[in-house]
Structure formats: structure tokens, C-alpha cells
């Protein structure tokens, strides 16, 4: 069943087309914002601990050189991990959520680039991510 377009809808459409005021090109704006973006997100789901630490380290260095101010690391809450199968790991704690920030804090060369790490988001059991704020890049 096809719905017929009313005369009012046709008139509204014609008025819209004939307006001198044009709509903003959202795609163009989005591309500009991407180039000037001050925030980045890194999803570490599915990474081993070693790989996640390496990726995080390289990502921080790259973001710092590109003058990014904030990085959100998505680690997950660990609810789907297979920790229950390993008696040496906790089934209530996310491996990456706690270990990646600790790894970052242990690296003095990385900490020179970092203004702060949001510990509140790490300690929040309902959140599977944490934020990191970088210092200003000095050329």
C-alpha cells in the first residue's frame, strides 16, 4: 500500500527547495572536526595483555605527537572473559581495565607525556573504559 503525498507536503517541499537559506553540509563539517579532533578512542577488546600494553604505548606516543588532548581506552569489564577457566585469575576483575593503566604508570617515558589518568573510571565497576589526558605538545 502506497501512501499518497499530500498537497501540503508537496508545497512544503517546494518551499524548502526554493529557500535561499541552505542547510549546513554535515559531512563536510564532520571531516573538518576529524582533522582538528582533540580526542581519540582506542578499543583494546580481544587483545592479550602484552599486545594491549604495546598498542596503548604506541597509541599514546602517536596521539601526543598529533596534539590530541584526551584518549579513551575501551578495555571492557571482563564479563565475557574466560577467567573462570583459570584458577590463577580473578573472575570478578577485568584484566586489561586494571593492568593497562598500571603498565602506563610504570613507564616513565610515557608518564612524561601524560597530564592525568582518570582513576575514577578505572575503579567504577560499571564502566569498561578509562580516560587519559595528555600534556600539551611543545615543538
pLDDT digits (tens, 9 = 90+) for 103-130: 999 999 999 999 999 877 677 766 788 9
Number of other residues whose CB lies within 10 A of the CB of residue 129: 19
Helix (H) or strand (E) holding 41: strand 39-43
Q: Place 46 in a pLDDT band, splitting at 50, 70 and 90.
A: confident
- List pLDDT tens digits, range 59-98: 999 999 999 999 999 988 655 555 545 544 444 445 788 8
Which domains does the chain carry?
37-134 (3.30.1370.110)
For 64, the grid coordinates are 601526543
Q: pTM score > 0.85 for this model?
A: no
Amino acid at each position: 500500500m502506497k501512501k499518497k503525498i499530500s498537497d501540503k507536503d508537496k508545497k512544503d517541499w517546494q518551499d524548502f527547495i526554493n529557500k535561499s537559506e541552505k542547510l549546513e553540509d554535515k559531512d563536510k563539517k564532520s571531516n573538518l572536526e576529524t582533522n582538528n579532533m582533540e580526542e581519540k578512542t582506542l578499543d583494546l577488546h580481544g587483545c592479550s595483555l602484552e599486545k594491549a600494553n604495546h598498542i596503548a604505548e604506541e597509541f599514546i606516543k602517536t596521539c601526543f605527537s598529533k596534539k590530541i588532548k584526551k584518549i579513551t581506552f575501551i578495555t571492557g569489564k571482563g564479563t565475557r572473559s574466560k577467567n573462570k577457566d583459570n584458577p590463577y585469575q580473578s573472575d570478578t576483575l577485568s584484566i586489561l581495565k586494571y593492568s593497562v593503566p598500571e603498565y602506563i604508570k610504570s613507564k616513565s617515558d610515557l608518564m612524561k607525556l601524560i597530564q592525568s589518568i582518570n582513576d575514577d573510571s578505572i575503579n567504577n565497576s560499571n564502566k569498561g573504559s578509562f580516560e587519559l589526558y595528555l600534556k600539551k605538545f611543545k615543538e
